[in-house]
């Protein structure tokens, strides 16, 4: 159990004192828990066993974990932890956002930001007021600090549980079978959906369905895609250092992925100029590649991809950008969130450039439509 601001003031003061002592101590090779327990026993020899264990857990969480947030991570139902400056901490549990008894003070929140950001290799300060990264357990973290964060540092942590999801967990059996055939037929697929809808989870499930023996090169801004495959090479973007140099963005990684003998390229999310390089890669023989894109639906995703291409290559016309998208992407898979569940609700085939209509629905409202299979000997999108 973690000591929070709602605990007895004496215990909170003891946690502060022991924490300060441990930070300054020469630990050598002694376990952290042992050092903390000795300090607590020396300062409060008459403290009961339960209270002593409580203080030890709180100090260890401060030094090596996420402090008061550790108690929230003990609940597997918590999928998101949200800190909105000093005050109560909110979580998403079972698809609903709720306040928790955990409260953070200003100093405690500053320590949390430092612990969260330091392992990511990123920096966050007034000149660089936000940072993305991942924790040691794979959880995705976003930190925003003043002056952008008006009410103090904001920390948002999206948890990724230990469970690995397959296609059958995210789609009804007929839809799952359709998606597996698309992967086997080496269709280029873009997963679309809103924030938190399950795009990354479905991307990992699709990539895990790739047949054994194929080499996947995965490119991400912050590594989070889980793939159950024997031959995966993972690349992660790097932000600039404190001197403002050394940036390696997703676009650089997509270009480099082409030199790594990929059978398929998996881009965690396209959100900018890297869309141009990814689509070019799909047009140079890397069929079966996968990615995600924030969008409200397949049609919106097509427009967003074309806009990203124009951002990267301003000399192109809108019609050329649209043709590039249509000639590279075979299918769009839309995943939606309903409460705590995520499921595939739409799948459309992207037809060749110039074809009317531009897309052919294959799945609507989670149901496979009649005649959704490609022509004999053909494949979707071609």
Sign, Cα dihedral of 99, 103, 106, 111: negative
Architecture per CATH, 70-161? 2-Layer Sandwich (3.30)
> How far apart, in Å, do the first and last CA atoms of the chain sit?
58
Query: Sheet of 96-104: strands edge to edge?
Result: 96-104, 87-93, 78-84, 154-158, 140-144, 130-134
Q: What is the pLDDT of residues 103-138, one digit of tens each?
A: 998 888 988 888 788 766 677 888 889 888 777 777
Residue 81's CB is within 10 A of a number of other CB atoms, namely 22
Enter the tokens of residue 336: 């939606």
Instruction: Reduce the secondary structure of 230-259 to three states and give it as a string.
Output: CCEEEEECECCCCCCCCCECHHHHHHHHCC
* pLDDT tens-digit map of 281-321: 887 778 899 999 999 999 999 999 999 999 888 788 899 99
Query: Start-end ranges of CATH 3.40.50.300 in the chain?
Result: 167-368
In this structure, how many other beta carbons lie within 10 angstroms of the beta carbon of residue 157?
23
List phi, psi (to 5°) of 131: -155, 145
What confidence score (pLDDT) does residue 51 get? Answer: 86
Q: What is the spatial distance between Cα 125 and Cα 253, in angstroms, rounded to a whole number?
A: 26
Q: What is the pTM of this model?
A: 0.76
Q: For the chain, which residues score pLDDT lower than 70?
A: 1-10, 23-28, 63-65, 119-121, 161-163, 241-244, 375-382
Sequence-ordered list of residues with C-beta below 8 angstroms from that of 138, at least 6 positions apart, any chain:
160, 223, 224, 226
Q: Domain 167-368: give its CATH code.
A: 3.40.50.300
For residue 2, the model assigns a pLDDT of 44
What whole-number distance in Å separates Cα of residue 120 and Cα of residue 165?
A: 26
Determine the pLDDT at residue 20: 74
Which residue intervals of the chain bear CATH 3.30.450.90? Answer: 70-161
Please tell me the predicted confidence (pLDDT) of residue 163: 66
What phi, psi does 35 have (nearest 5°)? -65, -45
């Amino acid at each position: 159990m973690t000591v929070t601001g709602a605990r007895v003031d004496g215990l909170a003061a003891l946690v502060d004192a022991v924490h300060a002592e441990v930070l300054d101590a020469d630990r050598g090779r002694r376990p952290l828990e042992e050092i903390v327990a000795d300090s607590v026993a020396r300062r409060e020899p008459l403290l009961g066993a339960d209270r002593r264990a409580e203080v030890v857990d709180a100090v260890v969480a401060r030094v090596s974990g996420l402090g008061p947030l550790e108690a929230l991570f003990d609940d597997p139902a918590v999928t998101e932890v949200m800190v909105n400056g000093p005050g109560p901490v909110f979580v998403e549990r079972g698809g609903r956002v709720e306040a928790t008894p955990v409260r953070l003070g200003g100093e405690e929140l500053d320590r949390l930001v430092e612990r969260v950001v330091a392992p990511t290799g990123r920096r966050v300060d007034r000149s660089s007021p936000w940072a993305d990264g991942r924790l040691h357990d794979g959880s995705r973290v976003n930190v925003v600090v003043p002056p952008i964060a008006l009410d103090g540092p904001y920390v948002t942590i999206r948890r990724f549980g230990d469970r690995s999801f397959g296609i059958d967990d995210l789609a009804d059996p007929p839809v799952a079978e359709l998606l597996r055939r698309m992967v086997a037929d080496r269709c280029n697929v873009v997963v679309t959906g809103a924030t938190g809808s399950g795009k990354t989870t479905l991307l990992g499930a699709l990539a895990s369905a790739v047949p054994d023996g194929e080499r996947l090169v995965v490119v991400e801004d912050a590594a989070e895609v889980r793939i159950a495959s024997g031959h995966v090479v993972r690349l992660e973007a790097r932000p600039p250092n404190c001197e403002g140099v050394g940036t390696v963005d997703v676009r650089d990684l997509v270009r480099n992925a082409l030199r790594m003998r990929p059978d398929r390229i998996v881009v965690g999310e396209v959100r900018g100029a890297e869309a141009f390089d990814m689509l070019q890669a799909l047009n140079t023989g890397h069929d079966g590649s996968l990615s995600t894109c924030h969008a409200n639906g397949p049609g919106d995703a097509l427009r967003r991809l074309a806009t990203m291409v124009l951002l990267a290559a301003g000399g192109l016309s809108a019609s050329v950008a649209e043709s590039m998208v249509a000639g590279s992407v075979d299918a769009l898979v839309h995943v939606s969130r309903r409460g705590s569940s995520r499921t595939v609700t739409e799948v459309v085939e992207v037809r060749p450039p110039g074809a009317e209509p531009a897309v052919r629905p294959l799945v609507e409202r989670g149901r496979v439509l009649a005649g959704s299979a490609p022509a004999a000997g053909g494949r979707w999108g071609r």
